[in-house]
Amino acid sequence: MAPPTPPSRSTQTSPEPDPHDDAHPALHPSVTSVPVTPGVHLAGGSAYIEPEDTREKSSLPFDPETATPGPSWNANSYFAPKGGEKDRPSSPTEVAKGAKSGEELLRRLSIIPDPSKQKHDLADVDPRAAHPGLNLSGRVISANFTVPYSIGYSPGNDWELNSRRGTSALFDSFSYLASASSPWNHVLVGWTGEIQELPSARPPSSASFRATTGHVQPNKAAAPIPVDASKPPPPPPEGIRIGRKDRDRLEQQLERDHGGKVVPVWLVDEKDEKTDTVLLKDQSRWRRYAEYELYTLFHYKVNAPADGRAARTSWANYYRMNKLFADRILELYQPGDIIFIHDFYLLLLPSLLRHRLPNIYIGFFLHVPFPSSEFYRCLSRRKEILEGLLGANMIGFQSYSYSRHFSSCCTRILGFDSSVAGVDAYGAHVAVDVFPIGINAAATQKQAYGDPVIEEKVKAIRELYANKRIIVGRDRLDSVRGVAQKLQAFEIFLEKYPEWHGKVVLVQVTSPSSVQPDKNEDNRVVNKISDLVARINGTYGSLAYAPVQHFPQYLDKEEYFALLRDADIGLITSVRDGMNTTSLEYVICQKENQGPLILSEFSGTAGFLAEAVHINPWDLGGVADAINQALQMTPEERKEQHTKLYKHVIENNVQAWTNNFLKRLMTNLSSFDQSFATPSLDLTRMLAQYKKAKRRLFMFDYDGTLTPIVKDPQAAIPSDRVIRTLKTLASDPANAVWIISGRDQAFLDEWMGHITELGLSAEHGSFMRHPRSDEWENLTEKTDMSWQSEVIDIFQHYTEKTQGSFIERKKIALTWHYRRADPEYGLFQARECQKQLEKTVGKKYEVEVMTGKANLEVRPRFVNKGEIAKRLVQAYGEGPDEAPDFVLCLGDDFTDEDMFRALRQSNLPNEHVFAVTVGASSKQTLASSHLVEPKDVISAISLLNGKSDAGNVGAVAVVEGSIPESRL
């Protein structure tokens, strides 16, 4: 089949702006405020500067020497905005200026396509070509908490859009997706962020230099931003009112003025329908739950118990925010789009989307750490968050340990089967994988080395710190960044290695945090850092020398790159960190100097940069020693280390990361595509055959089929609804209804014995009780049972080793249960036990060792549920008017596969047999269809009984993988 052809935009010649046209991204400047120029209609919505990386194929890695930077939406967006003319986007007039011919002019204005800058020949490089079955639209809709701008509003005027600081790697990924270098069309959906009203009267920010050393200010022209000034000024108490015209204007600006289409999500407090005006009051409330609860806990910090009402409100806001994102995305969605959701602000979005569009393709990436289950389980909304995420088809993490923690939480908290490859949830397989994010390496290199201003600064900083070795650190103001640990380790270094006094400086830049979990903590961190700096400089400094140069500010980008280039050591001591982009930028900037990188093993980057010097930031003496060793590395050692690091950062750049994620998502979508998976039970067909049939046979497993699996097997008793449903079914004389279970006679008698119309089979077919009879037939009477004592001994051994496990002794079969034990340890022990049983009793006797749901069972090989199924079918006779003309067989585990096998081997026509497994559609099974859980089984039987609530089962199929809203 030919690969789906994405809507071709590169051949667009219409002068009318096409709202879906994102083929011509603008090279995103650091500050933009572009009016929509009346009378100038440009393809793609605005004039653009083609990113220089159009030659860069998506088949990465590329050659760092020749590669040029990709478009940079906010490349290094944490830099102080400059606002100068050269940073403004080019107006159409400016773009047109240098054109040497009419054709070039039209090309520059994007009115006709530039052949050298078209998207690649998709058949050659498009990864979608490998997955024709997915019917992809060719578009990626990214969902990120905010758009890449800080937005300023002045009623009636163009909106002011300033590059948003932080998450530069992610914004570069969006930029890449929107560029001509990627085969995708791209739309970014994000909140506007806290909109600031711009009254002309408002005085400019009174930023002042607050370096705590007071000794050196690297560049007076840089606009250092004091930490406290980073937060937007509080909105006026009555809030900000925004009318429809102004909102439309922002949407137009965002749609036309950037490297891809941006669609804002409006999070508002009130809306006046009459005037179509929205009111924004407490704008920060949308981030509160994510930043106060999730960010904190995901970084292994616990908040003090808070007032319950406030917690409920912030959760409600979080849910609502996710819901509004879902609404916005669904307005844009076209079948075949891929939804790529980012980070901890949008953890509920996957399921909210899946709930409404069951077949939507969703990838999710978590940029921050995911904590171990021991920590995660402290979260009060732990279930809802996991369930929200499990609506995705694939979930990506920065490092292997985070992905393992996640899978483990799904098993421990939700009871889902999981492995390192993924989680089986709600009848679907959710893939889990690791994708450490990179940076736009080529762009960083070009910026750091191509600019004469930077060259000058490199010289100036060198002169400033002449004869000194520079250790550089740049971190956000947040206790998890480990700045205090860094300073303490540096203090120990100075104490332990006095030979370095006067010869080493630590230049530490601390920029404001991108999240606002706790103001008090911010202040505590600021005070602690100030105290440490003062103490170190007081103890080891002099009038001419301050060992710590601390700058609590954003640095101008030229200064930042110059500093990274001048440094002799990069020092990262985060105590918890998803991915540290400073360390990657440092590696690029050290192309000439080849300085070593000291990196905390608690940063997600450590797994990515295995060649760096890894340290434990809590081991202050160890960090001090690492600094000393790094300072003494020979040029050969430095070169060897740096070459490896550099290659790694260049090859695993953000473009490669983006491509990798999407490629893996598509592979997963293809392998778990519904056409390969077990289909849902076709209720209509089943009902039609049921109505036609005259001799009907029903075979139901019990645990996991008619009742859910619970911690205590004795507590798995049939509900009133199950009993009534079975009774009604069995009361039809045309129906033979059997329960075929691994349970013993006593249990089946106790709970279902009173329904005399039912047939019962206990212990996997060892015993049978026919309908309307009290007698149990023993099919194993003559069997040698000497194996039992040996099995008991082995089970006993594992019971002693596995807290919470226990043995169930039945007449014939023996079961070892670990469902009350630690799920992961229990599973591990069960595998060991199984191996031992198979090597010993399994070889000596005719017995089978079977894995069940959190249990292991041993029983004689010749008795199994398949034999019973065979018997029951044969009991009708073989002739066309004798054999059952409707068979419904339901089971959930390995032991039930014997029944499905027996039915496959029978001579019954396929259309008369409904072999149904209960569980994930991805499960390996001999059944021909599946239902998700026991309640769907009861709904399906009710449908045959003619009960109206049977409709639920259809709904279950539709909302597979979604969270019930009531749980939220």
Ligand X SMILES: O=P(O)(O)OC[C@H]1O[C@@H](O)[C@H](O)[C@@H](O)[C@@H]1O
Catalytic residues: 701
Nearer to ligand X, 330 or 723 (CB): 723
Interacting stretch for ligand X, rule CB under 6 A, among 397-405, 550-558, 701-709, 882-890? Answer: 701-709
Residue nearest to ligand X (CB): 742
Nearer to ligand X, 69 or 742 (CB): 742
Q: Closest separation between CB of residue 748 and ligand X, Å?
A: 9
Nearer to ligand X, 857 or 885 (CB): 857
Crossing angle for the helix pair 168-178 and 654-671, to the nearest 10 degrees: 70
Q: Which of 30, 895, 925, 942 binds ligand X (CB under 6 A)?
A: 895
Alpha-carbon distance of 827 to 33, in angstroms, equals 59
Structure tokens at 635: 């040029």
Q: Which of 363, 704, 759, 765 binds ligand X (CB under 6 A)?
A: 704
Nearer to ligand X, 783 or 855 (CB): 855
Instruction: Tally Cβ neighbours within 10 Å of residue 17.
Output: 17
Structure tokens at 594: 């080849």
Q: Closest separation between CB of residue 850 and ligand X, Å?
A: 9
Question: Among 36, 42, 38, 48, which Cα is nearest to 15's?
Answer: 42
Question: Among 294, 284, 287, 229, which Cα is nearest to 477's?
Answer: 229
Cα–chain-centroid distance for residue 438?
Answer: 16
Interacting stretch for ligand X, rule CB under 6 A, among 184-192, 221-229, 628-636, 699-707? Answer: 699-707
The answer to whether the CB of 512 falls within 8 A of the CB of 476 is yes
Does residue number 296 form part of the binding site for ligand X (CB under 6 A)?
A: no
Nearer to ligand X, 197 or 857 (CB): 857
The answer to whether the CB of 289 falls within 8 A of the CB of 145 is no
Question: Among 18, 36, 253, which Cα is nearest to 147's?
Answer: 253
Q: Closest separation between CB of residue 854 and ligand X, Å?
A: 9
The answer to whether the CB of 537 falls within 8 A of the CB of 504 is no
Exposure of 345 by Cβ count < 10 A (0-12 exposed, 13-18 middle, 19+ buried)?
buried
Q: Site for ligand X (CB under 6 A): how many residues?
A: 15
Interacting stretch for ligand X, rule CB under 6 A, among 371-379, 429-437, 720-728, 851-859? Answer: 851-859
The answer to whether the CB of 46 falls within 8 A of the CB of 256 is yes
Q: How many residues does the chain have?
A: 968
Q: Which of 475, 518, 857, 898 binds ligand X (CB under 6 A)?
A: 857
Q: Closest separation between CB of residue 744 and ligand X, Å?
A: 7
Does residue number 741 form part of the binding site for ligand X (CB under 6 A)?
A: yes
Nearer to ligand X, 542 or 796 (CB): 796
Q: Closest separation between CB of residue 701 and ligand X, Å?
A: 5
Site string for ligand X, 112-141 (x = CB under 6 A): ------------------------------
Q: Closest separation between CB of residue 727 and ligand X, Å?
A: 19
Question: Among 957, 939, 919, 966, which Cα is nearest to 358's?
Answer: 957
Interacting stretch for ligand X, rule CB under 6 A, among 126-134, 298-306, 736-744, 880-888? Answer: 736-744
Exposure of 601 by Cβ count < 10 A (0-12 exposed, 13-18 middle, 19+ buried)?
middle
Q: Which of 25, 69, 127, 713 binds ligand X (CB under 6 A)?
A: 713
Place of tokens 């202050």: 620
Does residue number 934 form part of the binding site for ligand X (CB under 6 A)?
A: no
The answer to whether the CB of 552 falls within 8 A of the CB of 212 is yes
Does residue number 852 form part of the binding site for ligand X (CB under 6 A)?
A: yes
DSSP structure string for 322-372: HHHHHHHHHHH--TTPEEEEESGGGSSHHHHHHHH-TT-EEEEE--S----
Q: Closest separation between CB of residue 947 and ligand X, Å?
A: 24
Nearer to ligand X, 52 or 898 (CB): 898
Q: Closest separation between CB of residue 683 and ligand X, Å?
A: 23
Nearer to ligand X, 808 or 933 (CB): 808
Q: Closest separation between CB of residue 795 and ligand X, Å?
A: 13
Q: Closest separation between CB of residue 826 and ligand X, Å?
A: 14
Does residue number 322 form part of the binding site for ligand X (CB under 6 A)?
A: no
Nearer to ligand X, 130 or 746 (CB): 746
DSSP structure string for 729-771: HHHSTTEEEEEE-SS-HHHHHHHHTT-TTEEEEEGGGTEEE-T
Q: Which of 815, 834, 925, 962 binds ligand X (CB under 6 A)?
A: 815
Nearer to ligand X, 354 or 870 (CB): 870
Does residue number 617 form part of the binding site for ligand X (CB under 6 A)?
A: no
Nearer to ligand X, 336 or 708 (CB): 708
Omega cis (within 30) before 155:
no
Q: What angle do CA 339, 433, 337 make, to 5 degrees?
A: 15
Does residue number 808 form part of the binding site for ligand X (CB under 6 A)?
A: yes
Q: Closest separation between CB of residue 296 and ligand X, Å?
A: 40
The answer to whether the CB of 610 falls within 8 A of the CB of 520 is no
Interacting stretch for ligand X, rule CB under 6 A, among 284-292, 540-548, 665-673, 695-703? Answer: 695-703
Q: In what order do the strands lie in the sheet with 847-852?
A: 806-809, 814-817, 855-860, 847-852
Interacting stretch for ligand X, rule CB under 6 A, among 329-337, 587-595, 681-689, 741-749? Answer: 741-749
Q: Closest separation between CB of residue 865 and ligand X, Å?
A: 7
Nearer to ligand X, 713 or 842 (CB): 713
Q: Closest separation between CB of residue 473 and ligand X, Å?
A: 57
Does residue number 742 form part of the binding site for ligand X (CB under 6 A)?
A: yes
Does residue number 790 form part of the binding site for ligand X (CB under 6 A)?
A: no
Q: Which of 475, 558, 559, 703 binds ligand X (CB under 6 A)?
A: 703
Question: Among 253, 249, 321, which Cα is nearest to 284's?
Answer: 321
Q: Which of 53, 475, 577, 701 binds ligand X (CB under 6 A)?
A: 701
Alpha-carbon distance of 225 to 207, in angstroms, equals 6
Does residue number 767 form part of the binding site for ligand X (CB under 6 A)?
A: no
Structure tokens at 698: 């029903």
Interacting stretch for ligand X, rule CB under 6 A, among 15-23, 221-229, 700-708, 792-800? Answer: 700-708
Question: What are the counts of helices (DSSP H) followed by strands (DSSP E) for the chain?
Answer: 32, 34
Rounded to 5 degrees, φ, ψ at 787 are -65, -25
Question: 211: which strand partners?
Answer: none
Question: Among 227, 211, 207, which Cα is nearest to 533's?
Answer: 211
Nearer to ligand X, 808 or 822 (CB): 808
The answer to whether the CB of 700 falls within 8 A of the CB of 808 is no
Q: Which of 108, 367, 743, 912 binds ligand X (CB under 6 A)?
A: 743
Residues that bind ligand X (CB under 6 A): 701-704, 713, 741-743, 808, 815, 852, 855, 857, 893, 895
